Copies of this chain bind each other. A is one copy, B any other.
């Protein structure tokens, strides 16, 4: 193909990709609206509108013409780095989306929609049996999907790869084993130590004032208000409506201000990632985060490593005190710092602290692997859950509702998603150590209320690349080695020995 031929072919492929991305952004706008304030009775027709947009985007991503254009371009050498990455990721997307038969996609979507309803009722009634047939069916459909997507040795690989591209079950299992072996004794040690005081966090904090504090907090973290906004929703989330429109939501609880604060910080981390991808990637499939694990690394580094640090609250506590002078009058930095870093084994993943959180995830990773491989039957699932909770965290769920039925993911048909939550912690710790080396004044700046250096570092080393680099390439390039859970374990040990005594 001539130079011009290549340019034209690329342009055609990019135009198709851009239309699909725009349609997906629009679908996100509809979802955002639905979660933040859509009138209730609009729900049914809104689902139809979203499904229509998704199918239009899907058609553009799976059009035979895309396959032709890809083949033409793949025979050509000498593309620039961005174009080469675009081609690689477009091929990956095309294969993934065309390998699943339409009937299977529809079956998965319909089953998941009905399963979510069944799950909600089952959780309400604490009735695992009512959910069992749905779960069995979703596991079957996921196995079927994995077989269509393809894998080398382990079926679960194909599922994991949808959320954490290029990762393998074997690698994640190796890393999680090491992580679990470090975490279990650390949690036991902390549980045996004297507990920190959290009573001041149970006082009454006016949600309106919490909102005002969050409004300035997101800006202090580098979130530009002309490129996003903060709203309220039942479950906090981040969503991208366009290159310059990434929005976050949070929720405020009167007697748990830390919940709203850290949701805002967490989602700000996600938003900064999406807003920080390079300009030349914008409107293409390269402009999204490279994996859910890397996404979590950006939210968790900001939430836990920066946002729950002494340095951060050196500056922010006096600010927060201006909003809540009465509630915080007897709370000094040390008491506050220890309170927001309280560790305690508990039943619910989304309420778990920085130390125990990964164990909730490893438990789910081990269980869903076994469900997919067939080593664990759905009937034996509640028992396996209880056993692992006891092994990992030393506690047992008082019900299936607060045990195996607590998360929405499986009811949505999402298997392979959970591990990304814990991978985020591991990536984040490795990135943090390099950031500290690259930017020795980081903590001093943070203590003076200036987080811009931290954000700039993340943009420079992580955000700007979007999907150009895979998760493992990022880790390799930044940390100079493979994924290594010992860095996170060291970070935790150091931080929590200080809080809970060595």
Residues of B within 8 A of A102 (CB): none
Contact with B along A116-149 (1 / 0, CB 8 A): 0000000000000000000000000000000000
Knowing A23-B52, A26-B53, A30-B29 are in contact, say whether A42-B245 is a contact too (CB < 8 A).
Answer: yes
Cβ of A225 under 8 Å from chain B: yes
Q: Which residue of chain B has its CB nearest to the CB of A52?
A: B22
CB contact between A225 and one of B39, B227, B241, B243 (< 8 Å): that residue = B39
Cβ of A49 under 8 Å from chain B: yes
Query: Do A226 and B40 have beta carbons less than 8 Å apart?
Result: yes
Query: Do A45 and B229 have beta carbons less than 8 Å apart?
Result: no
Knowing A41-B226, A227-B42, A245-B42 are in contact, say whether A48-B22 is a contact too (CB < 8 A).
Answer: yes
Residues of B within 8 A of A29 (CB): 29-30, 33, 49
Contact with B along A24-46 (1 / 0, CB 8 A): 01100110010001111110111
Residues of B within 8 A of A227 (CB): 39, 41-42
Residues of B within 8 A of A37 (CB): 229
Query: Do B42 and A241 have beta carbons less than 8 Å apart?
Result: yes
Closest CB in chain B relative to A48 CB, distance in Å: 6
Which applies to chain A's interface (DSSP): helix, strand, loop or mixed?
A: helix
Residues of B within 8 A of A105 (CB): none
CB contact between A25 and one of B49, B224, B228 (< 8 Å): that residue = B49
Complex CA gap A39/B46 in Å reads 23
Name which of A19, A23, A45, A227 has the most chain B CB atoms within 10 A of its CB: A45
Closest CB in chain B relative to A487 CB, distance in Å: 36
Residues of B within 8 A of A25 (CB): 45, 49
Residues of B within 8 A of A247 (CB): 39
Complex CA gap A33/B26 in Å reads 11
Cβ of A255 under 8 Å from chain B: no
Knowing A46-B242, A49-B22, A52-B22 are in contact, say whether A39-B283 is a contact too (CB < 8 A).
Answer: no
Cβ of A322 under 8 Å from chain B: no
Cβ of A220 under 8 Å from chain B: no
Closest CB in chain B relative to A36 CB, distance in Å: 10
Residues of B within 8 A of A53 (CB): 26
Residues 136-176 (chain A) with a chain B CB within 8 angstroms: none
Cβ of A244 under 8 Å from chain B: yes
Knowing A22-B48, A26-B53 are in contact, say whether A42-B229 is a contact too (CB < 8 A).
Answer: no
Q: Which residue of chain B has its CB nearest to the CB of A41?
A: B244
Query: Do B39 and A30 have beta carbons less than 8 Å apart?
Result: no
Residues of B within 8 A of A434 (CB): none
Query: Do B45 and A245 have beta carbons less than 8 Å apart?
Result: yes
Complex CA gap A40/B40 in Å reads 28
Cβ of A7 under 8 Å from chain B: no
Complex CA gap A44/B283 in Å reads 12
Complex CA gap A56/B39 in Å reads 26
